[in-house]
Amino acid sequence: MIGVLYDIDGRIVGTVTGPINHCESEIARSTYNGLLTNDPCSHETHYVDSDLVMLKPSKPSSNYVFNYATKTWDLDLDGAKAAKWKAIKLARDAEEFGTFEWGGYIFQCDPISQQRLQGAVQLSHENALLTLDWTLENNSVQTFTAAEYIAIGDKLADHVNAVHVRGRMLRIQINECTDEAGLEAIVW
């Protein structure tokens, strides 16, 4: 036997299992409403309505919370916005730390590569005659001059800035959304 404890809205707050007299005793001691059932149930998948344990309808997405007053799923807009922003940040970071192109060459721009490029740019500002070999994204090696490293550094800065400008624009759109359809339309 299962004793189901529930609040005034039908939210299941606990269950007790065992012989019928044990379940009845636990229900009687509780400050919550209670009923007996033979069917397994949980607060995640069930609710109580008119002294009957009911199965909640399918949850539309993780951004919904069950409204015990209406017995329906309601969009948690703040939670949906937070989830969308998290997804956008992941896409933003993947693009920022992926690759960028300059002069027909593809450069890696993970954090270590960015530091190394910044070091090469700094050396280039100190020595205009500098030439250094650089390993590109495809693992080929190319020699660049000081002037080229400065231009590559500028392109890296433009790349990072463009990614973050786009991220800020999408963050504004997310904050202004009033429904799930609007949030779904926002993509990286």
Boundary of a domain, candidates 43, 74, 105: 74
* CA-to-CA dists, residue 143 to 64, 127, 129, 136, 148, angstroms: 55, 15, 13, 10, 10
Place of tokens 């703040």: 78
Q: ∠ CA 39-44-50 to the nearest 5 degrees?
A: 55
Mean pLDDT, 10 residues at a time, the chain of 188 residues: 95 95 94 94 93 94 92 95 97 98 97 97 97 97 98 98 98 96 96
**DSSP code of residue 110:** S
Query: Considering its fold, how many domains does the chain have in total?
Result: 2
Boundary of a domain, candidates 41, 74, 107: 74
pLDDT for position 61:
87
pTM above 0.85, yes or no: no
pLDDT for position 8:
94
Query: What is the extent of the structural domain holding 58?
Result: 2-74
Answer yes or no: do 124 and 164 share one domain: yes
Answer yes or no: do 103 and 162 share one domain: yes
Boundary of a domain, candidates 12, 46, 74: 74
pLDDT for position 62:
87
Answer yes or no: do 13 and 31 share one domain: yes
